[in-house]
Amino acid sequence: MVIVRRSKINCASSPLPMCRNVSTASYGRRGSEGSIFPGYSDLGGNNGAPPSYNSVATRTAQLFYALSRFCSSKGQVLSPLSGRFSSSKATNSVINKKLLFLAIGFFLLPWVPYYRVSNELQSSLKAATSLKEQHVEASDKLNFENDRTKTLENSSIELERDNKRLIHDLRESGNMLVPDDSNYQELEKIEDRLLDRIDGLQRHIQDSSKNNVKKKYGAEGPYRVEVNLQRYDEKGKPIGREDDKIVIELAPLDLMPHAIDHFLQMVSKQLWDGLAFVHRDIHSHVMQATPLDVKTGKRALSRFEEAGLGKLSFSEYSPDYPHEAYTVGFAGRPGGPDFYINTVDNSVSHGPGEMFKGEVDEGESCFGKVVEGQRLLDSILFNDEKSGSIRVVGIKNIRVI
């Protein structure tokens, strides 16, 4: 059995810069360690731990170079084919070089792609971690601004209620303020300042929402979502095709940034999975998605409230995107979490000032339109249902496409 014993030689004349004080080879019995090769500690490991890649490659090259030098001094060469020593000096240097380059290539080549992939994975992980931190920070800021807006809205509502009560009391007492009265003008100034602050906060929320959507889904629109549906018969048995679905194309981001961001957050958190659309007979003007679990029949509003996505911060409406047939809007004012598909043109009934007679009010948020699956909707909406019946259509899932 051939073993390697360590004895230092000078390899200053070596063409390899990594060869320094390498070991020559001699022959004898197996060492006490029970191996013909040096242990991990001899190869540069730490207390017997596996050595680094550079240490293993360097020491291996040194070992083969020392073996080649020893064979050269004896006039022999180790044949890589037969594994036996030969005394042919003519082929000595050629085979020694082959042994050396084979050893270096054996250790270097497998590690080149590993280090490249490892570096790329580390860079991608750092980038993903940074994006996640930015998203969390932006979400926290948006939630904070939403809370501030709701607080100011509540204050404005309270102020308006107090003003109405004060006007009523003054009328009853005969001390009604006139427009040129100083107290009346002061109240108008306070109200104007509050309205300006509310408008400023709404614009800030819209800007933040727009940035969130662009960072997560790209700056280029329009954005689309796919809604996979499950239909049921009167006995609750699943019917229809496995690929029953509709595709909703969202409104331009500049028109409805807050409503679009709010809806996409619901989708990304999968809050609508397993819930339902509800349609009330053929005379209903909408098909409404509501937090109703199709399996248990129980309300699932808590999942939206826990995610901080119960309602919009304010009712966002644009006259450039009215409630036409097959458009999608948030139910109520400010709206959410329920949304609906308009089965007819509801531009007037869901527009500004129509829901609450006698009061100035924004319209309901209209943020998308069904661009694929309209025939499927017609088959659900305009079938031979009896008047007063309620049809439930399950939402398997909603995904951004």
In a domain, 330, yes or no: yes
> What angle do helix axes 111-173 and 92-108 make, rounded to 10 degrees?
20
Residue 394, pLDDT > 90, answer yes
Q: What is the mean pLDDT of residues 341-365?
A: 77
Q: Which of 361, 350, 355, 301 is nearest to 327 (CA)?
A: 350
Residue 253 to residue 260: CA distance in whole angstroms: 7
Residue 130, pLDDT > 80, answer yes
103 and 251 together in one domain? no
- Predicted local distance difference test score (pLDDT) of residue 58: 58
For residue 9, give the DSSP letter.
-
In a domain, 216, yes or no: no
Structure tokens at 181: 């009265």
Q: What is the mean pLDDT of residues 202-221?
A: 93
78 and 136 together in one domain? no
269 and 388 together in one domain? yes
Q: What is the CATH number of the domain that holds 335?
A: 2.40.100.10
Residue 66 to residue 83: CA distance in whole angstroms: 17
67 and 195 together in one domain? no
pLDDT tens across 21-58, in order? Answer: 344 333 333 333 433 334 333 444 444 444 444 455 55
Q: Which one of 199, 230, 257 terminates a domain?
A: 199
Q: Which of 140, 115, 105 is nearest to 52 (CA)?
A: 115
242 and 356 together in one domain? yes
3-class SS at 319?
coil
In a domain, 99, yes or no: yes
In a domain, 241, yes or no: yes
367 and 244 together in one domain? yes
105 and 178 together in one domain? no
- Report the percentage of the chain scoring pLDDT > 70: 63
- Predicted local distance difference test score (pLDDT) of residue 64: 56
In a domain, 153, yes or no: yes
What is the number of structural domains in the chain? Answer: 3
252 and 361 together in one domain? yes
Q: Which one of 169, 199, 229 terminates a domain?
A: 199
In a domain, 295, yes or no: yes
Q: Which of 300, 349, 357, 307 is nearest to 329 (CA)?
A: 349
- Predicted local distance difference test score (pLDDT) of residue 72: 53
253 and 162 together in one domain? no
Residue 325, pLDDT > 80, answer yes
- DSSP characters for 167-178? HHHHHHHT-PPP
Residue 25 belongs to domain spanning = 1-109
Assess contact for 184 and 177: CB atoms under 8 A. yes
In a domain, 34, yes or no: yes
Residue 103 to residue 34: CA distance in whole angstroms: 23
- Predicted local distance difference test score (pLDDT) of residue 299: 93
Q: Which one of 49, 77, 109 terminates a domain?
A: 109
287 and 373 together in one domain? yes
In a domain, 306, yes or no: yes
146 and 252 together in one domain? no
189 and 285 together in one domain? no
Residue type, 117: V
- Predicted local distance difference test score (pLDDT) of residue 112: 63
- Between 55-69, 300-314, 322-336, the lowest mean confidence (pLDDT) is in 55-69
Chain-wide mean pLDDT for the chain?
Answer: 75
Q: Which of 367, 322, 368 is nearest to 346 (CA)?
A: 322
- Higher pLDDT, residue 250 or 13: 250
Residue 170, pLDDT > 60, answer yes
